[in-house]
A and B are shown apart, each in its own frame.
Chain A
């Protein structure tokens, strides 16, 4: 009897567990298996969506991504100097410990490229239903665009890179040499040509599709790749015929008849629907701060979205005015008569004397921001300009200054200026929402300027002048036209510098022109404005921010970034010269 009871109990014990045929054959419960993804077109589209998400942009929480202005002669990044100084002072090395910022892109780009390659290798597994072919073609073209995008960004930083067109697995042979710059360019252009055929036009991408990649974006990217290929840095033999391809690609873009120069230079950066905008990334104004766990981050940050407004607002409006445009960059904005007002500085490092351009009529050293190219007003926060319905007080002791008697003085500027371009003035710290303005990768005026540059090299100065003047003379800017006399290339470069200021182009342009060794090696000049409380008279003291000359340098090696040391140790990749 007892034996029977025991047997029964044992049986009960066992039955507490559902007997499964294969007890150890389990499935993950937090993800989707590979097979399932490539069987369903909706899942495939989700896969493509996430590839879009891998695009870097110019508003990340910290520097990095495309937030390049702090490593150029445009501005000084007060809060990131500790990461950027290695580069701006000529000491960049290939070591990962120093490369918090510079290394990241290599990793992100190749991770994205692998994910794009996964798509291209698996998309054929899908058996399309009738009518689905076009959608698949479009998704494929989007992926090819994205892959070309990352390669263009890679070669513009590193020169020729390993061209990975297939996926590796853990047992692959990983030895891939660096392809030449020419091979990379050819690959990019071929891929884009193939994609252009299957991509929709801007006018076809509306409603919920708005934001998907268009023909225009692909042509724009092709122009960029070809432009690098034709520029002195990557075209050491100065083969001018390369500019012919650039010009043709520009004409291809213009021939789409989808884009027009904006009539609102200030507003276009907030409006992805503007006729000038070709490629962009959108954000949501998500609500609320959150306290974060990450020890690397401060007190709190925004939930989702980006935080560029708080980073760049002046301290008098609750921001940190992180990136200060440099005085000599501000000086580049012409007077209304079309002259650069200040040509340089001399004298005592703490009290520099501006060398004033005698031709710059209308320039008043005691009211230096008057009578200037309107794009100065749209792009830079300077003393007494109107911002959020008030006059900025950049002067010492003013509410936007770094004076210990001012609220949030520790967030005050160091050089006298802040970046205004693409700020959303309607944003307020008190609303507690993140910024929603888009990051604009490409807009038409860039390609007008590229076209002008190409035509200059091809010996058509009049075409070059024409396209520069389209930009200068659009309504809302209305600057006097340039002519072909004198150093036309210098004028084109100057226009590009001003027109595209703080949009990240400067770092690519100064390098591809090989101008960086001079331009980026200049010491930082700042201005301290003092206001006489009785007369309200302001005086301007210019100074070398770092105390003297020779604090900045740009060795030849810095034209390209080093391949991360870890990568060199693991592979047979050839390091860039000088690292």
Chain B
């Protein structure tokens, strides 16, 4: 198997070609040759990487005893393809036979070169062949020309550092009175060509005092910029605005671009794991393009929907953030307490604010980054081998009073005499998946601007391969973004943002769970292939055909276009500090899905005739299912604000109106029996049994809200927000809700009596707020009837339409409300040797929407709607600490965050007669109801002397008779104290910098979570075999029951024997990078260049799940495993 994915090969090839063909371009003063070449190449490669080449052409031929070159000639004669190769060694002269029967060209190439150490690339109609040993050429040929300097100008270089001697990257430097400027890079250094030696440079950085420095003929200017004590440092994005971190009154965490980019995965949520206090992130699987990430703010506080609200550039409901380009992110803020109340009815689960980068005045700065990763499951299923499997089967036979079937074969396996042509020993997981899968990412952005107009433009390309055997499966993504701001008048600024995303996910026809299950249903004594390579039919259906591309694919393409037009006008002519602000966001999403299933070849061998019989007739026909959905979201926001200081009184306030409307529809169509799998379009399908359908959906929200923020002398701080929200999800009388919040803080360190050399900053915070959660199915207040296919009538039978009532209406349905209280403390010691915050929170949810299915009997026949009945409390603490120090050339940072959140159900619909130990009240929201196990029965007398299931035998799980009625039944099940959602999550970061090297480590851990792991189908994890009960004497303290099947009570009745603890600590991320020396880069016109090696999910330091990744919650084990990534890459800015 080729490890490199074919698309990455294409890109490599084109880059080489591109450099050659454009190497002679002249620079134009603005672009260095390198820049222009690079830009061109990048654009081309972005373009071409999407192009697919028709390798579907189907040909047939049969060549016997030929050389490779003869096969080439044959294929060239049958198609338009031409083989191109320099290295003749690939034409090894051995002879072979090759046959293709209506096979696609792509497939033929795959087969032809599979074991030949030949790498092929298809460029148009050319098949380019290279020996595989040859190391890939450096993708970037170094240009031979030196950069073209303008001798008329004067160059100034230098380094910008802060008072602690740390470099300040991102400081903007502007030649006063011009548009000429630049930004400092990673190590704080800059270089700028100025017009004349007397120019004045303006250094500015947010939170620092701007400085003007005259050049005075100096070529080198190192400056130290000082923290702006008045304006006070860091600014944090909060709901509908920004606030200085020091005067913030709410519990808001934020994470900036730099730290986000330390993790190199394809899913942005991974980049936050373990880094933000209060954010509980669990990665539940590793499937490319699917976001199996649980993101919870302060754990789970409701039995209803637990998703936080994502707000991207001020616009809510743009989907979640996982698929955004990490390079585009300026910062992410997490609103954890009443500070989220400004988002009213959608804010109860907390709010995540994502802010993308915008341009800064200055010359264009290009940033290019690329990385290439190899991924491997952190853990893979290790199932029983053939010997263990057959032993297990016969043990089950014996336990079920059935005759043994395999004693002789088992003996033969043991002594090695088994007929290996009939009895195999297959590692099915290893057969259907690849050991390593590649993924790669390119990202290019450019930002800059004049005094009046700034821009940020970016593009990203991502390609992730799936672990399945076939090459076609995986995820590809393109992201583009353009954020433009312009000052069009003295008081008017406008902005226009456009972001596009194209994601293409190609999966096997069966879903992931079903596919992984296929590994569990295979008998290990079956063979995947015959000796001649034909795929063998196995007793459970050979899964090789499901993952190698033969059975078809399910392709989902999502296209998203987010646009935002904004305008802001200051109104000093009415009142100083008054402004008006408005924006409209129009987002358009489409999803297309195309499922093509094809008959596939699986063979059986007929011993009598000696022929291989293709059983493809059993695998159906060529069928096509297509689905198209589109959605348009329109948001309108209008705001009038007033920000002003009167002496020591500072006021910031606004009133706003927002409306949101979502409209969409979806259609699907399907046809069967297509004339060819190569024409995957509906017209090619049979008329008979065609099917189609479609429907629409809409929802709307209408909101009025405002904020009043007042502070006195930056010392006493109060923030008051309120929101009046209306949602179409509810009936007219219950549609609107009011959500106020107040928070206050006291900066003790600003008081005159507070004199400390050590403590520079000390702030106490408190907040209270009312928030809502309206995420339920809409129109539950109406009785509706659904249309569908129904009964077959007629002497000539025909299916007719039918109508069925939907959910029983609940006219009273309304919001879920949350009351949040938070107490916090922020502090900062001298020189940032320790900064941190501590928060304690308490949340009371009520009116939680849930169906009353526990108390309404089934005989009522209702399809239950949600009702506002539940109550949940959630409380906990969070701590975040950071330390930073520099010793000579060596800088290090240490950080840690810890979150404890415990939820408890206060009221939930429960059946009145439920026993005490099954009450969900007082237990976690995502509860586990299970029998309590008490070891394994060792002998019959233990069974006779206890309550047991009627079919209990020695070797079965002993169940505790909770209600002591002498019978084990459902009333004996208990609810556990813990659930799969951890109560404790924590993380540490360590950063080291020495000269040009830097190393960053992230450890992530959790505690107090439990999950059921009960993987079983026909085969299962060998751990259960090795630790099974065998007899009283052999295994008196066995961990797991005797060999079982799905009917055994030990397996069927889920008991705590299957529970495992999810506590773990893992090395989540390691990132080692090297910044190239400026000296070497400058002649190339490159500002900085950084190489890095990083690893994600590298090590699990401790855990007790063992058979799966400790973050998995799949009881069956049928899931796409979490991935470990080894990544290398580079970052260039120029």
Contact = CB atoms under 8 A, between A and B. Distances in A.
Interface centre among B621, B950, B951, B1054 (most CB of A within 10 A): B950
A569 B800 contact: no
Interface string B858-882: 1111111101000000000000000
A355 interface: no
A564 B858 contact: yes
B1116 A295 contact: yes
B856 interface: yes
A548 interface: yes
Interface stretch (B56-64, B193-201, B911-919): B911-919
Contacts of B638: 10, 13-14
B400 interface: yes
B856 A551 contact: no
Given A176-B859, A568-B913, A570-B912, A211 B791 contact: yes
Interface string B784-807: 111110111111111111111110
A128 interface: no
A37 B689 contact: no
Contacts of B697: 28-30
A282 B793 contact: yes
A115 B861 contact: yes
B592 interface: no
A110 B857 CA distance: 10
A4 to B, nearest CB: 11
Contact of B857 (A85, A211, A567): A567
Nearest to A37: B785
A410 interface: yes
Interface stretch (A18-26, A67-75, A260-268): A18-26
Nearest to B618: A429
B970 A546 contact: no
Given A32-B784, A89-B951, A288-B673, A52 B790 contact: yes
B491 interface: yes
B969 A94 contact: yes
A546 B402 contact: yes
Interface string A291-316: 11111001110010000000000000
Contact of A6 (B511, B567, B802, B857): B567
Interface centre among B580, B688, B793, B864 (most CB of A within 10 A): B793
A93 B779 CA distance: 39
B1047 A85 contact: yes
B783 A284 contact: no
Interface centre among A9, A289, A290, A569 (most CB of B within 10 A): A569
Contact of A208 (B604, B665, B793): B793
A547 to B, nearest CB: 4
Interface residues of A, number: 109
B861 A114 contact: yes
A299 B861 CA distance: 34
A487 interface: no
A566 B858 contact: yes
A291 B580 contact: no
Interface stretch (B26-34, B455-463, B725-733): B725-733
Interface stretch (A43-51, A191-199, A358-366, A376-384): A43-51
Contact of B620 (A89, A98, A288): A288
A208 B791 CA distance: 12
A570 B802 CA distance: 32
A388 interface: no
Interface in B657-703: 659, 661, 665, 672-673, 686, 688-689, 695-702
A275 to B, nearest CB: 14
Interface in A102-129: 106-107, 110-115, 117-118
Contacts of A113: 861
A287 interface: yes
Contacts of B702: 23-24
B582 A13 contact: yes
Contact of B806 (A31, A52, A106, A547): A31
B1085 to A, nearest CB: 41
Contacts of B867: 170
Contacts of A96: 970
A432 B696 contact: no
A174 interface: yes
Nearest to B855: A570
B623 A164 contact: no
A379 B401 CA distance: 29
Contacts of A176: 859
Contacts of B689: 286-288, 303
A17 B786 CA distance: 30
A20 B786 CA distance: 27
Interface string A160-185: 01101001111010101000000000
A84 B726 CA distance: 52
B782 interface: yes
B810 interface: yes
Contacts of B727: 24
A294 B511 CA distance: 8
A534 interface: no
A410 B32 CA distance: 71
A390 interface: no
A26 B793 CA distance: 36
Contacts of B213: none
A323 B910 CA distance: 40
Nearest to A545: B402
A102 B778 CA distance: 33
Contact of B800 (A30, A49, A288, A291): A49
A2 B491 contact: yes
A347 interface: no
Contact of A114 (B586, B785, B855, B860): B860
Interface string B711-755: 000000000000000111000100100000000000000000000
B970 A97 contact: yes
Interface string A519-560: 000000000000000000000000001111001000000000
Given A90-B950, A162-B859, A295-B1118, A53 B791 contact: yes
Given A113-B861, A295-B511, 14 more contacts: A3-B573, A10-B638, A14-B636, A17-B584, A26-B698, A117-B861, A164-B861, A169-B808, A176-B859, A287-B621, A546-B400, A567-B857, A567-B858, A569-B911
25 contacts: A5-B489, A10-B638, A24-B702, A28-B779, A31-B785, A32-B786, A34-B784, A50-B803, A52-B790, A89-B950, A93-B969, A110-B858, A111-B863, A112-B861, A164-B859, A170-B808, A170-B852, A170-B856, A170-B862, A170-B864, A273-B795, A295-B511, A546-B401, A565-B969, A565-B970
Interface of B: 400-403, 489-492, 509-511, 513-514, 517, 539-541, 546, 551, 565, 567, 569, 573, 580, 582-584, 586, 597, 604, 617-621, 623, 634, 636, 638, 659, 661, 665, 672-673, 686, 688-689, 695-702, 726-728, 732, 735, 778-779, 782-788, 790-806, 808-810, 852, 854-865, 867, 911-914, 949-951, 969-971, 1045-1047, 1052-1054, 1116, 1118
